[in-house]
Structure 1
Amino acid sequence: MLVHWEGVPMSLVGSDPDLSVLGLPESLDEVDAAGLGEVVVQARRAGALMEWHRLRAMAEVFERLVAPFMDSDQRVYDAHARAANEIAMMVGRSQAGVETELMDAAHLFAGLPHVAQCLHDGVIGGGHIRTVIARTALVGGQEYAPLVDQELADALRRQGSWSLQRLRDVCDRIVFRHDPAAVRERRKAAEEGRRVWAENATDGMAILHASMTAENVRVAAARIDALASSVCESDPRRDGARRSDAVFALLSGELFECQCDRGDDCDATVPAPAMVQATEAQVIIHVITEAATLEEPEPEPEAAEAAVAESDSVDKSGPEPTTKRAYSPRHSGVGFMDGYGVISGDYVRELAQRTGAVIRALRS
């Protein structure tokens, strides 16, 4: 069990670190304008290095206190919860959040060591590494994991900026090349986990969240915009406020009205929420894919039977074989949704079957 940080002198906890060790100046008073940019770059690298050390320590906690009980279905959960609880009390975070981070850190250093080194070297930051971990969660334990790790690390070290969208797309493309089934499984899990939840904000406000498929978000957003934009130019609300009121009207069925003070001179034509038709809320989603992806993939019984036969032939007394997924060489395809990124072939076919979908051949 971890040891609480009780009895640590407050002077030690609150003491300022030696910034020179990280290559940072103690004061910015003597730094000129050009030097400030260098300080920003070095501080970013230092932050990435500190994040690497933090996650490395989390991975070590998992390795020492949780991994030894992995063969016991009951004790592994006890060990995991106990370790997370100790760290959560130290850093003032929820136990559930720390439990997830312990697993993420273990996945990073055990399955993606080259990517972890990119964090250590300041190539990427903490926000990037969380995206990488999330997009490669199903890679752990697979025989192709070292290839994904190396290819992703090579991509990260190429010159250029990394937005989270671009990073997600690169991760998906690399994983898909090695295991199309992983992308399909993640898509299925994400769709099954869609939900609606609310949280309180400050000053009497609250926030309503909803997760759904990307195309449904586009449709919902278009209806919201169509209703919100039906007011006249004298409506005093900001765009965000009008869209918020439009969401409530669409969900509750209450009347959405223009709030200008022009009276009978108001020229707004505001439809009832239930009457916001598709013609008023047109949605265009561009998806690029190969023609073969639109065809339903052939069933894969032969691949599954081969995997079962292989597992039966393995010497049960020897070490446990590397986890493998069974899928045929002819995978189900892949697509790219504009404004979103890489999507699986199953998702492409779902979009193609929606009412009103238009399929055109692109010629160079």
Structure 2
Amino acid sequence: MSVTLEGQAGATVTVEDGDIVVRIVMPAVSDGDDADDAALLLFAARADSFQGFMMWERYAAAHKLWRRKVESVSTALDDQGDLREDQGEYDVFTRVYDPLCQTAASYATVAGVKQFTAELFIDRAISCMERVPEVGSLMRDGVLIPLWFHAALEQTEAVTDEEVLAVIDAEAATALREAGQLSKTRVIEIVQAIVAEHDPEAARVARETAKVGKRVVVEPVDADLAELKVTASVEDTTLALNSINSAMAGACSKDPRTTQERRSAAAIALLTGALFTCECDDPECEARGGVDAAAQCAKVVLHAIVRRESLTGESDTPAYLDGHGPISAEHARDIAARFDTTVRDLDLGELLDRTSQPSDGYRPTAACAVAVRAVHGRCTHPGCDMPAWKCDLDHVVEYDHDNPAAGGATCPCNLNPKCRFHHGLKTHVAGWVDDQIVDANGVIWTEVTTPEGVTVRSRALNGWLLPELGLIPCRHDDAAGSARPEAEPEPQRRLTRAAAKHRYRMRIRALNRRNGVVRHAAVVAAGEPPF
């Protein structure tokens, strides 16, 4: 068996005559070579791919041990389930120390871990080999590192119907393999959406079961501090956190407390009805006298995107709760029925006529902005999980304020959410280039190229929620003039700095797109590894 590792050119894991041979190409080290920098970056970031293969093999070995324990118990029992008289010692074994417990005890002894840790390992091994073997194969192939596989596994624990689980396993494996760059959050939300769609009953039971877990607990931390824990529904906790963050915004920038200290003070002010005060030394700071924390929260909004047919009960397509992730259609209907919920229609047909505001071509319409945030779900920079409604909407190809028709359209094909940090990284740090492509099937892809020349591609996280968005024809000739004031005359030079940067980025994007076509063709031609 031979596996080619994801993201590592020339890297393979091979099983030869009972030996596991790991081959990872070490990057050449020399000064001043961008290619060397790219190789170093890839090695540092993705040389862990082989760990998934090793974990899969460990799980396979543990699963075989467990199966043998199960078979040994089966042979000790007769057809009626009574113990054989000559093997009475199996009574305790079968009633208390079941095969999983016994296998885990042996593993714990040799691995030097606690029984609970060992049982978790054996349980994951069984799930990898029997419950979700297709998702498990992604770990074997280096698509998922063990941490991501465990995150995916947790999302399927409530599914008990074997036939439904098999469908979820197959669809999740396909979606994860085709998602491009992954992270723990992306893995969780991709699998969550598939589980919520195919097993809404499990989602309902899980929600009902979770209700009994709602509680408020105070636990001491030390002599001076205690920890207040509130367990509630995802929408209530998300709304509560947003309210706390909104209240703490009442302090000025000179407040000497850390973010967490201010957040703690704001939470207590909200709970007790007290004023939230700024602790700066500025006598002119209005917040020193106290800010009504509750009044600060009046502007807090929680966004949930749901298809109309799911809201009416005609479909079980999941919804997406900003800051949390996919939720079941039933959960979305419950949120919509709350007294404090406002339901607004999102008409994607409006995007056929206009995607930018009539008075300012730089700014998207409300429908365009909501659609873009909804389809991406989070900051589009790989590895970042900042919720989309807390991000800026960035023009991937820079908007030309002097000549809007020249490029940088305000359109779903050219807009995506970026958190303030990654937006600034792209704008102000040399060498970072991003791109956005809508393929022939309407799938929206984002690409980020690092200064070292490594390009990472990711699929829009929530394409399943708004599949029509990528199929809407673009009309970039409707861009109105920008409402921004005219800039000062540019220096007399052949190209302005902005124009030079724009030209450089366009060249990089064109090169990446050409290379992307070649990479995709190579993947299609290669097919599955030769197992």
1:267 maps to 2:286: yes
2:297 to 260, 280, 283: 280
Q: CA deviation at 1:171?
A: 1.6
Structure 2 residue aligned with 1:45: 49
User: Unaligned regions of 5+ residues in structure 2, if any?
Assistant: 1-19, 75-80, 82-90, 350-531
1:23 paired residue number: 23
Q: Against the structure 1 CA distance between its residues 203 and 129, is the aligned structure 2 distance closer, same or farther, given a 3 Å change threshold?
A: farther
Q: Evaluate the alpha carbon distance shift between residue 260 and residue 269 of structure 1 in structure 2; reply closer, same or farther with a 3 A threshold.
A: closer
2:328 — aligned with what?
Answer: 344
Quick one: distance in 1 between partners of 2:339 and 2:161?
A: 40
Higher mean C-alpha deviation, range 42-51 or range 349-358: 42-51
C-alpha displacement of 1:176: 3.8
Number of residues of Structure 1 aligned to a counterpart in Structure 2: 309
Instruction: Tell which structure's C-alpha radius of gyration is larger.
Output: 2
Q: Which has the higher strand share?
A: 2
Residues 63, 291 of structure 1: alpha-carbon distance in 2 compared, 3 angstrom cutoff: same
Partner amino acid, structure 2, of 1:289 = V
Normalised to the residue count of structure 2, the TM-score between the two structures is 0.49
Are the aligned partners of 1:67 and 1:76 in contact in 2 as well (CA < 8 Å)?
A: no
- The equivalent position to 2:243 in structure 1, one of 223, 232, 235, is 223
Residue 258 to residue 246, structure 1, CA distance change in 2 (3 Å): same
Match of 2:497 in 1: none
Cα 1:286–1:207 change in 2 (3 A) is: same
TM alignment of 1:162-177, pairs within 5 A: 162-177=182-197
- State which of 291, 308, 331 in structure 2 corresponds to 1:291: 308
Q: Which is worse superposed, 227-236 or 351-360?
A: 227-236
2:104–2:115 contact (8 Å) kept in structure 1: yes
- For residues 90-134 of structure 1, what are the alpha-carbon distances to aligned partners after superposition, in whole Å with 9 as ceiling and x for unaligned? 444443343233223212210222221111110111121112111
Distance 1:170 1:141, change over 3 A: same
Residues 59, 220 of structure 1: CA spacing in aligned structure 2 closer, same or farther, 3 A cutoff? same
Residue 319 of structure 2 aligns to a residue whose secondary structure is strand
- Residue of structure 1 equivalent to 2:473: none
2:60 is matched with 56
The 8 Å contact of residues 138 and 173 in structure 2, kept in 1 or not, is answered as yes
Aligned to 1:359: 343
Give the secondary structure class of the aligned counterpart of 1:146: helix
Preserved contact between residue 132 and residue 169 of structure 2 (Cα < 8 Å) = yes
> Identity percentage over the alignment?
28
Q: Are the aligned partners of 1:289 and 1:335 in contact in 2 as well (CA < 8 Å)? A: yes
Q: CA RMSD in A?
A: 3.9
Distance 2:22 2:30 in 1: 18
CA distance in 2: counterparts of 1:58 and 1:196, whole angstroms: 40
Question: Does the aligned pair in 2 maintain the 1:62–1:103 contact within 8 Å?
Answer: no
Counterparts in 2 of 1:121-200, with a 5 A limit? Answer: 121-158=141-178, 160-194=180-214
Q: Which residue identity is paired with 1:352?
A: A
Shift in alpha-carbon separation, 1:26–1:231, aligned structure 2, 3 A: closer
Tell me, in whole angstroms, the C-alpha distance in 1 between the residues paired with 2:161 and 2:342: 40
Q: Structure 2: how far apart are the matches of 1:65 and 1:334? A: 40
CA 1:158–1:86 in structure 2 vs 1: closer, same or farther (change >3 Å)?
Answer: same
Q: What's the CA shift for 1:347? A: 1.0
Unaligned 5+ segments in structure 1 are 1-19, 298-329
**CA distance, structure 2, for counterparts of residue 75 and residue 158 of structure 1:** 44
SS at match of 1:220: helix
1:323 corresponds to which residue?
A: none
Distance 1:196 1:59 in 2: 40
Q: Kindly provide the amino acid, as one letter, of the partner of residue 283 in structure 1.
A: V
Alpha-carbon shift at residue 214 of structure 1 (Å): 1.9
